[in-house]
């Protein structure tokens, strides 16, 4: 009996979420992104190195490291 | 020591349980929930793993998630910044998914499993791939190559495994990705991404590699196999729905193939494109394998990641690179990440000594004769039971010789995407019409896709062109496509593809004795040590798990006979058991789901 209600709330939440995220995108993301885009090439779209392999730098070799999500 | 590995909220949700360095149980959630590629939290797969060992979660020493969620989240943000303002939709859709679920992986696991925080660990996505392959391999030391669509940032690594340690040396990063490149061509050729890649591979032999130069206009391949893609041709890093741009279509010379066509027309142009991207992928993989062999000095190579499911490319590596032996985890994709994460913690972190190699994929649930009989009796299904195994195998072989198509349900189900003689549909491979029969009446799938052969291991070299000296590990898991011997092609037409190749599964008496014995019995009658083997499901349905699901799928198709253990059920007993869930999913993933 609650299913239609939950489904409605979920859909409603998703719509609101999408609107909010659109606002966030143009208000909060935009200024950072415009600067970021100008200085960084994190996706290597501009540079073309002779090899796209780079050293593996992640450190995750102890239980302590492994408890982290980053 | 018990370690539970988990992968979910991306591709197939899965759980794998490792006991003292051995994978003792593993399964994809889809098999239990009956939702194909179910990416959700694998509650039922976990319950199965624990039940199988007769333990509770309190007996588990560590739970390991197969990737680092925050690193992936960072990649999504950075990508959205870098592709602003085109990235609006993908930002919105992926953030929504992350806010609702993916960011809370840690609390979801803690809450659901009720384990102390210190027991929960996180592996790197590609380390999980690497560990799944290396720690399950027979090699004490090996070169490791991982390749997939994308992990957190990583899309490929090269590394070195020795004993209980893995050292990843280098990585390639998103958006430059062999997996995503292949998926872009999958979409261009009119198939769904994360679903249609096998179709593209199956279509390739109908074409010629005419368009390699056009593909090369959009990418660069380094001597080490590293890939650089000119991203003006690709859209998967900023689009929620498209993996390539109109410029891509311009370079290829024709618009994308209409997905509505499905398999209805095999336009030679797209077959040529399929063959061209297959050649490019093979070229990349060969260069990478050669490089990782030089880098590590090891000719034993462990492959992992979704691209390692490209069995056509795999079949060429030993002959055409410096690799001498290859091992691939049976679940090479992200499902296998669950096993890899657990193996990584077990060996690399905790230094538990290595155990014997994973030489089979039978890690799923099984049902006893009593359970099967109880099911049949409860539903009043007429059956015939064979108490004598020899008589049963005779019966099966006779049925196959008579041209019948059978559902074969026996033992523990297979880990990974392939049916390997535990949940298989079997038929006579020597019958020239069998491919059409199985396609049209049972699998309802693309007519151009080939079926696979299961061959007795001791006969494999008589029937297939296999690299000298290769121990053929990937063939145990149906991960090698190789030529069928010239003089044998017309003897097993149902499994010989248009280019004379076959995706063989070698069947070993010590890992699947019953399946081996059934094929041996068939060989005695026909002289052919090969049967056609395709997964026990309908198109869009996960492979069956229980006797009830097997019976329903049998009833919904035009299969002639069903073998549940030693119980034989014939056509006239068909009916649908309504209480058994059944759901078909034909669509693949959206682009946003593929990359986030
Ligand atoms: Fe992966």
Q: What CATH number corresponds to the domain at position B449?
A: 3.90.870.20
Please, how many CA atoms are within 13 Å of residue B136, restricted to the half-sphere of its CB?
35
pLDDT value of position A1? 46
Separation of alpha carbons B6 and B18, rounded Å: 11
Tell whether the model's pLDDT for residue B491 goes beyond 90: yes
Residues B141 and B129 both lie in one domain = no
Supply the pLDDT for residue A5.
66
Chain A residues with CB under 8 Å of B158 CB are 53
Q: Does a structural domain hold residue B206? A: yes
**Over chain B, what is the mean pLDDT?**
95
**Do B141 and B115 fall within a single domain?**
no
pLDDT classification of B43: cutoffs 50, 70, 90: very high
Measure the CA–CA gap between B104 and A69, rounded to whole angstroms.
10
Q: Which two tokens stand for residue B171?
A: 């990585």
The share of chain B scoring above pLDDT 90, in percent, equals 87
The pLDDT of residue B235 is above 70: yes
A20: which 2 tokens? 């909010």
pTM score, whole prediction = 0.95
Pair of tokens at residue B215: 């593909």
| Same-domain status, B207 and B228 | yes
CA of A12 from ligand 1 middle (Å) equals: 33
Q: Does A46 touch chain B (CB under 8 A)?
A: no
Chain A environment of B224 (Cβ under 8 Å): 51, 53
Domain membership flag for residue B419: yes
Same domain, B54 and B177: no
Judge contact between B246 and B87, C-beta under 8 A: no
Per-residue pLDDT at B193:
87
Please tell me what DSSP assigns to residue B305: S
- Nearest Cα to Cα of residue B396 among B212, B228, B522: B522
pLDDT in tens, B284-294: 999 999 999 99
* Residues B422 and B556 both lie in one domain: yes
Residues B114 and B198 in one domain: no
What's the token pair of residue A2?
Answer: 């609650």
Is omega for the bond preceding B52 within 30 degrees of 0, making it cis? no
Q: At B586, phi and psi to the nearest 5?
A: -105, -25
Same domain, B431 and B579: yes
Closest by CA to B272, choosing from B188, B160, B332, is: B188
Domain carrying residue B589? 369-595
CB of B193 closer than 8 Å to CB of B263:
no
Q: Is the pLDDT of residue B124 over 80?
A: yes
In angstroms, rounded to a whole number, what is the distance separating the alpha carbons of residues B527 and B491?
A: 10
Q: Which residues of A touch B232 (CB under 8 A)?
A: 45
Q: Chain A residue with minimal CA distance to B104?
A: A69
ipTM of the shown complex: 0.91
Residues B396 and B509 in one domain: yes
How many domains does chain B divide into? 3
Q: B126 and B156, same structural domain?
A: no
Residues in chain A predicted with pLDDT less than 70, given as ranges, are 1-9
Please check whether residue B286 lies inside any domain of the structure.
Answer: yes
pLDDT digits 0-9 by tens, B318-364: 999 999 999 999 999 999 999 999 999 999 999 999 999 999 999 99
| B96/A18 touch (CB, cutoff 8 Å), yes or no | yes
Residues B424 and B491 in one domain: yes
Residues B259 and B294 in one domain: yes
Residue B586, pLDDT score: 66
Span B138-155, average pLDDT: 97
Domain membership of residue B363 (yes or no) is no
Please name which of B166, B142, B508 lies closest in space to residue B325, comparing C-alpha atoms. Answer: B142
Q: For B228, name the nearest residue in chain A, comparing CA atoms only.
A: A52
Q: Which 6-35 residues of chain A touch chain B by CB within 8 A?
A: 14, 17-18, 21-22, 24-26, 29-30, 32-34
Kind and range of the H or E run holding B157 = strand B154-162
Q: E strands along B428-547, which residues?
A: 452-456, 482-483, 501-502, 505-507, 530-535
Residue B364 within any structural domain of the chain: no
Check whether residue B50 and residue B14 sit in a common domain. yes
> Does residue B515 sit within a domain?
yes
Q: What is the pLDDT of residue A18?
A: 87
Query: Does the pLDDT at position B579 exceed 90?
Result: no
Task: Indicate which CATH number applies to the domain containing B95.
Answer: 3.30.420.40
């Amino acid at each position: 009996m609650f299913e239609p209600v939950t489904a409605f709330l979920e859909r409603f939440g998703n719509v609101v979420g999408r609107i909010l995220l659109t606002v966030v995108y143009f208000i909060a993301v935009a200024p950072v992104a415009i600067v970021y885009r100008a200085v960084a090439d994190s996706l290597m779209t501009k540079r073309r190195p002779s090899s796209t392999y780079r050293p593996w730098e992640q450190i995750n070799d102890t239980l302590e490291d492994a408890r982290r999500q980053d | 020591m018990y370690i539970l590995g988990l992968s979910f909220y991306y591709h197939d949700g899965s759980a794998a349980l490792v006991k003292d360095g051995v994978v003792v149980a593993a399964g994809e959630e889809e098999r239990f929930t009956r939702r194909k590629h179910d990416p959700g939290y694998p509650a039922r797969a976990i319950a199965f793993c624990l039940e199988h060992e007769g333990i509770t979660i309190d007996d588990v020493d560590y739970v390991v998630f197969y990737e680092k969620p925050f690193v992936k989240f960072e990649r999504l943000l950075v990508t959205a910044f870098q592709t602003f303002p085109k990235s609006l939709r993908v930002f919105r859709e992926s953030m929504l998914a992350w806010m609702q679920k993916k960011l809370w992986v840690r609390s979801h696991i803690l809450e659901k499993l009720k384990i102390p925080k210190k027991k929960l660990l996180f592996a790197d996505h590609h380390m999980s791939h690497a560990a799944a392959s290396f720690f399950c391999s027979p090699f004490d030391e090996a070169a490791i190559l991982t390749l997939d669509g994308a992990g957190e940032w990583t899309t490929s690594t090269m590394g070195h495994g020795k004993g209980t340690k893995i050292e990843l040396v280098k990585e390639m990063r998103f958006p430059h990705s062999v997996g995503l490149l292949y998926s872009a061509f999958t979409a261009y050729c009119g198939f769904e991404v994360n679903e249609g890649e096998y179709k593209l591979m199956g279509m390739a032999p109908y074409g010629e590699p005419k368009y390699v130069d056009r593909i090369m206009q959009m990418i660069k391949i380094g001597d080490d196999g590293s890939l650089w893609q000119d991203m003006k041709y690709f859209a998967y890093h900023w689009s929620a729905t498209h993996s390539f741009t109109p410029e891509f279509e311009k370079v290829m010379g024709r618009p994308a193939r209409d997905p509505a066509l499905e398999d209805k027309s095999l336009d030679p142009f797209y077959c040529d494109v399929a063959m061209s991207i297959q050649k490019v992928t093979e070229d990349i993989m060969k260069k990478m394998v050669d490089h990782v062999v030089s880098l590590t000095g090891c000719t034993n190579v462990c492959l992992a990641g979704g691209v390692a499911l490209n069995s056509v490319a795999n079949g060429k590596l030993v002959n055409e690179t410096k690799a001498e032996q290859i091992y691939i985890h049976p679940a090479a994709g992200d499902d296998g990440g669950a096993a890899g994460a657990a193996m990584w913690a077990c060996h690399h972190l905790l230094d538990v000594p290595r155990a014997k190699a994973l030489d089979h994929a039978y890690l799923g649930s099984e049902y006893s004769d009593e359970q099967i009989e109880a099911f049949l009796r409860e539903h009043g299904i007429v059956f015939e039971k064979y108490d004598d195994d020899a008589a049963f195998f005779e019966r099966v072989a006779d049925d196959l010789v008579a041209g019948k198509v059978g559902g074969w349900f026996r033992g523990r189900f297979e880990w990974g995407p392939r049916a390997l003689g535990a949940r298989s549909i079997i038929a006579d491979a020597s019958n020239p019409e069998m491919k059409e029969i199985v396609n049209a009446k049972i699998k309802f799938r693309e007519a151009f896709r080939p079926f696979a052969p299961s061959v007795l291991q001791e006969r494999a070299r008589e029937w297939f062109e296999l690299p000298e000296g290769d121990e053929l590990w990937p063939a145990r898991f149906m991960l090698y496509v190789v030529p069928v011997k010239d003089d044998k092609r017309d003897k097993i037409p149902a499994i010989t593809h248009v280019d004379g190749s076959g995706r063989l599964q070698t069947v070993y008496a010590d890992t699947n004795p019953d399946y081996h014995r059934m094929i041996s019995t068939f060989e005695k009658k026909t002289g052919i040590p090969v049967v056609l083997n395709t997964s026990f499901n309908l198109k869009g349905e996960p492979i069956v798990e229980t006797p009830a699901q097997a019976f329903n799928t049998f009833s919904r198709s035009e299969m002639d006979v069903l073998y549940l253990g030693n119980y034989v059920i014939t056509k006239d007993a068909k009916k649908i058991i309504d209480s058994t869930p059944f759901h078909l999913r034909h669509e693949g993933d959206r682009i946003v789901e593929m990359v986030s």
